[in-house]
Amino acid sequence: MSRFLKSLWGRWQPRTLSGRLALGGVTWIAGWAVALLLAFDVLLNNVLAGQVDDALRARAQAVAATLVYREGKLTTLESGNGGDEALDAGTSIYLGTTLFEGVPLRDEVSGDLLQAGKKTRDSERYGPIRYLAWPILDGDTQVGTIVVASDVGVRNHTVLVIVLASLVFIVLTLAFTFFALRATIVRALTPVRAMGTQAAAWSEEDLDKRFDPGAGPLELRELSTTLNGLLERIAAALRHERNFTAELSHELRTPLAHLHAEVDLLAVDEPLGPQEVENLLTSIRRLEGLVETALVPARIDHNAAPGLGLVRDALEGLRAPASGSARLVVAGDLGIVLAVESDIVRRALNPLLENAFRYAHDEVRIHVSAHEGQATIEVSDDGGHLEAQDVENVFSAGFRADPGDGHPGAGLGLALTRRICRAAGGDVVARTEPGRTVFRVTMPSL
């Protein structure tokens, strides 16, 4: 049954938001209207029943005023005192359970009313009739009963007509309310629909277009502000990706051009010396490293189950360049287990070490520690080349602290390091100390 009702509701449920909101509003109004109608029906029945009872009570008292009980006998006053007018076809007088005057009552009625004190009873067998029993007392003892009756069919018919008329009025009011609410909601949502159409019409070339934050009511102004913030973040991400792609392309041109030149030498059958071969292999390795490093963040994002690795394994293969004069010093706990694959951490550290050896005078230091599920790897050099105002700029793609240092790179290494760290659930920041530059890498650990 529950599945059938859900299926029925799904079939008849409005498809539009305006229809659903209007239906929800009408449903609440219908609930309140039905509750008020039931309360009105109860109140109307009580009022009309009270009026009937008051009329029956007045008749019974008028009849009682014409009766005299003396020495076990019941007598009526003279007609001049109004006794005959008080008695009508709806009045019965009993002495005990014996009919004294009037119309005899049916057994199912007399059994409930006679000698029962003041009491009312309804009967539907021969039509809607209401009875009222009024006791005839001799002192404190009931010796007889006056029963008066009234046809309440008119009253019931009146109640039924009023209830049906109220139901028709409620149905018509709900229908009008539904269409009025729907039209009002559609009109209120028109600016929202226009904003959606406008946003859908904007293309990738419209990154600077925004909604007017001062147009419309307060809710639409707040929505415009929120959407403008979202569009700004999307535009920034697209600009960053475009810049990164352009800069990566520029960075790849150098080793590719070098490879092309070396291949040209091979093409004319000129013998290659050891240095040319080494240059060719170096360019190939550099190109491979750039491509692999650029793909690491995407590989992390698509890997739902991160691997594990030791810091010791991540540092393996990171050595001082043969041409460099600075020495590499490694300290700290190398047995820390990282919640990241060692190869990923190695690729994040490699640009930091290249940068450190490029500017170091005598020493490049790596220090490893862990605290509360976070491993910290600090890479520092004694070159002191970084200015305090550039500690954040160095992670921007294309930024170079010293463009004239003779290094052929395009400033992508540290930007890639940050992308890799954040994709792996960590981060990298820089700071300056007297005579030293420190890069602090954090990675999740066990």
Q: What is the pLDDT of residue 212?
A: 75
Using DSSP, state whether 102 is helix, strand or coil.
strand
Give the lowest-confidence range in 101-105, 230-234, 372-376: 230-234
Q: pTM, whole model, 2 decimals?
A: 0.42
143-175 residue pLDDT tens: 899 899 888 887 788 888 888 888 888 888 888
Q: What is the pLDDT of residue 381?
A: 92
**Position with higher pLDDT, 91 vs 8:** 91
Dig out the tokens for 406 from the structure. 């003779």
Q: Looking at the DSSP assignment, which residues form a beta bridge with residue 443?
A: 375
Using DSSP, state whether 112 is helix, strand or coil.
helix
Q: What is the pLDDT of residue 186?
A: 80
Q: Is 441 within 8 Å of 434 (Cβ atoms)?
A: no
Nearest residue to 92 (alpha-carbon basis) of 115, 60, 62: 60
Nearest residue to 349 (alpha-carbon basis) of 416, 285, 403, 408: 416
Confidence check: pLDDT of 318 > 50? yes
Give the lowest-confidence range in 55-59, 113-117, 290-294: 290-294
Could you identify the residue written with the tokens 């800069």? Answer: 247
Q: What is the pLDDT of residue 377?
A: 93
Q: Is 91 within 8 Å of 113 (Cβ atoms)?
A: no
Mean pLDDT of 127-145: 87
64-110 residue pLDDT tens: 888 888 878 888 875 444 444 445 667 888 888 888 888 888 887 88
- 307 band by pLDDT with thresholds 50, 70 and 90: low
Q: What is the CA radius of gyration of the chain?
A: 49
CA angle, residues 107, 110, 113, in degrees to nearest 5: 150
Confidence check: pLDDT of 429 > 90? yes
- 390 band by pLDDT with thresholds 50, 70 and 90: confident
In the chain the domains, ranked by start, together with CATH numbers, are 12-157 (3.30.450), 202-303 (1.10.287), 306-444 (3.30.565.10)
Dig out the tokens for 439 from the structure. 């890069």
What CA dihedral angle connects 256, 261, 263 and 264, to 10 degrees? Answer: 140
- State how far the Cα of 355 lies from the Cα of 417, in Å rounded to an integer: 11
**Position with higher pLDDT, 190 vs 334:** 334
Confidence check: pLDDT of 401 > 70? no
Dig out the tokens for 329 from the structure. 């010093």
Using DSSP, state whether 438 is helix, strand or coil.
strand
Confidence check: pLDDT of 111 > 80? yes
- State how far the Cα of 410 lies from the Cα of 428, in Å rounded to an integer: 20
Q: What is the pLDDT of residue 379?
A: 93
Q: What is the pLDDT of residue 254?
A: 67
Q: What is the pLDDT of residue 366?
A: 93
Q: Which of 88-92, 133-137, 184-188 has the highest mean pLDDT?
A: 133-137
